[in-house]
Amino acid sequence: MLRRLFMVFFAANCLFAQSAPAPAPTPSAAPPDTPLSEAQNKISVKSDLVVLPVTVKNQKGDLVPDLQQSEFRIFDNDVEQSIDVFTEEAFPLSLVVLIDDDLKPKDAAQMAPTLRAITAGISAADEVIVCRFDLDFHPGDQFTSDFDTIWADLVRIQARNERSKSKSQSTVSTASDRALGVGEAPMKVPIKQGARPTKALDDAIHSAADLLHDRGLARRKMILIVSDGVNGPEFNRFTYHDSLRALLHDNISVYSLAVGNTLNKGKFQRLTSYSNDSGGDIYYASNSNRIEKLYAEITEEARHEYTIAYVPRAIHSLDPYHRVEVRVTRPAVTVKTRPGYYVAPSATPSEGASGRSR
């Protein structure tokens, strides 16, 4: 009897389970991808397109936002091309924030309090990774769109720079390390102990470009480097041309924020070369207030570029490096884009490439 009751109870439960609605799926923690626009979709699916981010400014240095496709002309190795994709829409950024970790104490003191202001120019659709460099490259954990994570990374670097500044001021080498000679005065000039001789800026740019390699064609790839521009070629594994090739191959623009005494802009030549030769820009700042304002200007410029793409036609050249020129018919404006591209990853720049002798 008990066995018969058990079998009836078991059968009833099975029928109930079959008739009950299935439980709702647990929502994913990751937000759904934003649908691609028509222009982004064309760029994503056509691998033979050459994609050019183009910035246009007037004589006052203001962005010119109202140009039409008919006002642009593109030349590839001096051969005019037809435009296949044209858009003014703001593409989401994939941004590497690259912080110089070996600044002079005075420059670090100016820069450190400004770092958190970088978040002011970041939108919810962007993704950011915060990295440091000196003689080595110190990558962040991963690209993230989480504002709190980006903020925390910048706060940690700010605190690190402030501790380094404090240590460099308190740690000095004086004649107290040995017995003074007769009439010898103690050394009065502080000397930073353990200071690194220089830094490997070329390697840092190359490593940052590697991080951006797989971020997708429908994103604006950008490196924002905050540095005094010091570079020791003998400490780099990669040359300037190696790093520039990596930038151009993946359509990465470098935006440089030069910190320190900006009266002598020649000392920032390395930063200037990377910015100009990748189609980015360079800004100069010698105090904290100016640095904070520039972060928003830099991301604003990168976000409001025109995007032009074309399939190269009638190009008869065996040179893997192609020179690119973009012109506009509107007078009194300045056009900036990357100066060329490579048809193969292993290519080397031709003699006509911008920034050939650095």
**Per residue, what are the HEC states of the chain?**
CHHHHHHHHHHHHHHHHHHCCCCCCCCCCCCCCCCCCHHHHHHHHCCCCEEEEEEEEECCCCECCCCCHHHEEEEECCEEECCCEEECCCCCEEEEEEEECCCCHHHHHHHHHHHHHHHHHCCCCCEEEEEEECCCEECCCCCECCHHHHHHHHHHHHHHHHHHHHHHHHCCCCHHHCCCCCCCCCCCCCCCCCCCCCCCHHHHHHHHHHHHCCCCCCCEEEEEEEECCCCCHHHCCCCHHHHHHHHHHCCEEEEEEEECCCCCHHHHHHHHHHHHHCCCEEEEECCHHHHHHHHHHHHHHHHCCEEEEECCCCCCCCCCEEEEEEEECCCCEEEECCCEEECCCCCCCCCCCCCCCC
Confidence of residue 45 (pLDDT cuts 50, 70, 90): low
Q: Is the residue at 205 inside a domain?
A: yes
89 alpha carbon, distance to own chain's centre: 19
- Rounded to an integer, the average pLDDT of 49-76 is 94
pLDDT at residue 198, rounded to an integer: 82
Q: Is the residue at 26 inside a domain?
A: no
Tell me, yes or no, whether 61 and 139 share the same domain.
Answer: no
% of the chain residues with pLDDT over 70: 74
Tell me, yes or no, whether 133 and 159 share the same domain.
Answer: yes
Q: Is the residue at 234 inside a domain?
A: yes
Q: How many CA atoms lie within 13 A of 52 on its CB side?
A: 34
Confidence of residue 327 (pLDDT cuts 50, 70, 90): very high
Kindly report the average pLDDT of the chain as a whole number: 79
pLDDT at residue 33, rounded to an integer: 55
Q: Looking at the DSSP assignment, which residues form a beta bridge with residue 87?
A: 307
- Of the two residues 167 and 251, the one the predictor is more confident about is 251
Question: At residue 26, does pLDDT exceed 60?
Answer: no
Tell me, yes or no, whether 273 and 243 share the same domain.
Answer: yes
Give Dmax over CA atoms of the chain in angstroms: 114
Q: Is the residue at 133 inside a domain?
A: yes
- In angstroms, rounded to a whole number, what is the distance separating the alpha carbons of residues 215 and 196? 33
CATH classification of the domain holding 141: 3.40.50.410
Please give the order of strands across the beta sheet that includes 321-328: 79-81, 72-76, 321-328, 340-342
C-alpha triplet 299, 305, 308: angle, nearest 5°: 145
Instruction: List the single range of 1-15, 212-226, 236-250 with lowest mean pLDDT.
Output: 1-15
Question: Which of 264, 284, 303 represents a domain boundary (last residue)?
Answer: 303
Tell me, yes or no, whether 281 and 323 share the same domain.
Answer: no
- What would the 3-class secondary structure string for 97-136 be? EEEECCCCHHHHHHHHHHHHHHHHHCCCCCEEEEEEECCC
Tell me, yes or no, whether 261 and 284 share the same domain.
Answer: yes
Confidence of residue 159 (pLDDT cuts 50, 70, 90): confident
pLDDT at residue 257, rounded to an integer: 94
pLDDT of 305-319, one tens digit each? Answer: 999 999 999 888 888
Q: Is the residue at 57 inside a domain?
A: yes
Tell me, yes or no, whether 143 and 129 share the same domain.
Answer: yes
Domain range for 235: 93-168+195-303
- Rounded to an integer, the average pLDDT of 28-53 is 67
Tell me, yes or no, whether 77 and 164 share the same domain.
Answer: no
How many domains are contained in the chain? 2
Give CA torsion, residues 204, 208, 210, 213, to 10 deg: -160
Tell me, yes or no, whether 103 and 162 share the same domain.
Answer: yes
Tell me, yes or no, whether 244 and 296 share the same domain.
Answer: yes
- In angstroms, rounded to a whole number, what is the distance separating the alpha carbons of residues 225 and 247? 14
Query: Which residue bears the tokens 């990377």?
Result: 274
Tell me, yes or no, whether 77 and 211 share the same domain.
Answer: no
pLDDT at residue 164, rounded to an integer: 58
Confidence of residue 254 (pLDDT cuts 50, 70, 90): very high
Q: Is the residue at 178 inside a domain?
A: no
Instruction: Decide if 152 contacts 159 (C-beta within 8 A).
Output: no
Tell me, yes or no, whether 229 and 319 share the same domain.
Answer: no
Tell me, yes or no, whether 115 and 262 share the same domain.
Answer: yes
pLDDT at residue 293, rounded to an integer: 86
Give CA torsion, residues 324, 328, 334, 336, to 10 deg: -30
Q: Is the residue at 132 inside a domain?
A: yes
Q: Is the residue at 70 inside a domain?
A: yes
Question: At residue 188, does pLDDT exceed 50?
Answer: no
CB count in 10 Å sphere of residue 9? 9
- Of the two residues 260 and 130, the one the predictor is more confident about is 130
